[in-house]
Every structure is written in C-alpha cells, then in structure tokens.
Amino acid sequence: MSPYRGISLATFFGCAPAIDPHRSKNSFWYYLLKDQVTPKVLFDFICNPIGHTNGVANFAPYGLRKVEAALLRDGFKREDVVVAHPDHVEKFIGPETQVVGTYEMDPLGMGPVTMTFTYGRKQMSYDEFYNRDLHLRINAAKKKNGSNAKVIAGASGTWQYNYDPKKIQEYGLYAVLEGELGGIGPEIDGHAGEFFNHLMNGDFEKRINICMEHLSTTGTSLRWTIFLTKLNQVCMAWLR
C-alpha cells in the first residue's frame, strides 16, 4: 500500500519487473544488479509505504475497510479486528489469531500491463515479489508464534490462482475468495460475522467432506465443476 509520492502514473510501478531468474551470471547486468531488473532501491523510493500507527495501517483499500466495518457491526470486538500495515503484519499474528486475510490486486503478476513488462512472467514483477514476501512472512510469524490462523487471499486479483494453483499450497492458503471485497462477494455481503464464525468453527471443512463423500458415491464421471457448484450452494444456504 503506497501513496506513490502523489505521482498518478507511479501506480503502475508494481507492474515493473523485479527479478530475472534466467539472467546469466556472466552478464554485465548480473555483475551490476545481480538478478534485479528494476533496482529495488528505486522501486522502494517511488512506491513509499503508507503510514501506520503502532503497526495499524492509517489508510487501506475500500474493500478491507468494508470487511472491518462489517465485522464490528456484527459483534466482533474492536481489539479483535485490525487492518495491519503489510510491513508490520507479524505483530498481529499470535496463538489466538484465527484468520489472516490479504487484499490482492495482482498477486501473481498476471495483469495485462504486468504480463507485458515481464515478458509473460518470464521475470517476476514487484507485485508478485512483494505478495510472495508477505505470505512468507505471514507463514514465518505463524510458525514462530504458534498460530494456526487460516490465511484467506481475497480481492479482485485472486482469479490468478486459478492459473498457477501451486501457489496456493506454497503460500499455505486456507481459501481464496474471488471478487472485490467491497461487496465481499454478494455471498457474505451483510453476513460478514456469520461467514467468519463459520470459517473459524471449521464448518466449511465439514461441508466439504460431506460433498466429497457424496461425489465418491455417485461415480467418478462427475466433474469438479459440479462439486464446486454443490459446495457454493451449501455455503450460500448458510448465508441466507
């Protein structure tokens, strides 16, 4: 999250290539920058981070504020809900933390501008670089602090995990919520507290097991799309 020093076109700087894993170690550019493409010091200067108060972000995307407000509306305590600054997320992950949600617009660098700048992901963009860094730090904090928090990736860019599903396991994601969080999908709009309670209680796993058992008894010819449709119907039924 950045104010980009007030430069409007700097918002595209996250699309710039950060790492070239294929660069020859014998090349001049490797000698000068190692595997960096756009110098990190330049990116960090232009895309300066937003401010924070004791690790709490002073500003945040609208969708995150909607989730925050909905949870408070539905009875969650103020001290139990926080929009953490990405650089300080470790401060808020402990043994009692149950859910960690991330807001992701271009998590794997598959946006059209990013794909152009990185030659079709042959290089890693700064969007993907910092998203990966965030998830690695979340997982490290969970391990260090004995947390079993469920990590949920959300917002408009999560469709990208469909095209690189190995990242779901690599990042240790419990679930991916597709769609802009401004409405938290229509699925949980107006039902945020109920949705999170089901999430924390493990109710989704129970329903998934029921659906899997149903599919196993109805033959192997059923497609995964049918399973996902049934699962979606179950989740929607809870939230009506």
Identity of the amino acid at 213? E
> In terms of domains, do 218 and 191 share one?
no
Q: How confident is the model at residue 232 (pLDDT cuts 50, 70, 90)?
A: very low
Q: How far apart are CA 106 and CA 83, in angstroms?
A: 19
* Beta carbons of 124 and 18 less than 8 angstroms apart: yes
Show the domain range for 162.
4-201
Domain count within the chain: 2
The CA-atom distances, in angstroms, between 14 and each of 50, 110, 121 are: 15, 12, 13
Share of the chain above pLDDT 70, in %: 81
Is residue 209 located within the same domain as residue 128? no
Split at pLDDT 50, 70, 90, the class of 236 is very low
CA–CA separation, 221 and 239 (whole Å): 30
132 with 225, same domain: the answer is: no
DSSP type of residue 6: G
Query: Do 163 and 218 have their domain in common?
Result: no
Indicate whether 111 and 219 sit together in one domain. no
* Same domain assignment for residues 212 and 161: no
Coil vs helix vs strand at 208: helix
* Cα gap 177→168, rounded to integer Å: 12
Question: Is the model's pLDDT at 123 over the cut of 80?
Answer: yes
**pLDDT band with cut points at 50, 70 and 90 for residue 180:** low
Query: Do 191 and 82 fall within a single domain?
Result: yes
pLDDT of residue 226: 39
Provide the pLDDT confidence category of residue 173 given band limits of 50, 70 and 90. very high
User: What tokens were used for 147?
Assistant: 């947390």
25-81 pLDDT per residue, tens: 999 889 888 999 999 999 999 999 999 999 999 999 888 888 888 889 889 999 999
The single-letter DSSP state of residue 39 is: -
**Rounded mean pLDDT, 78-99:** 95
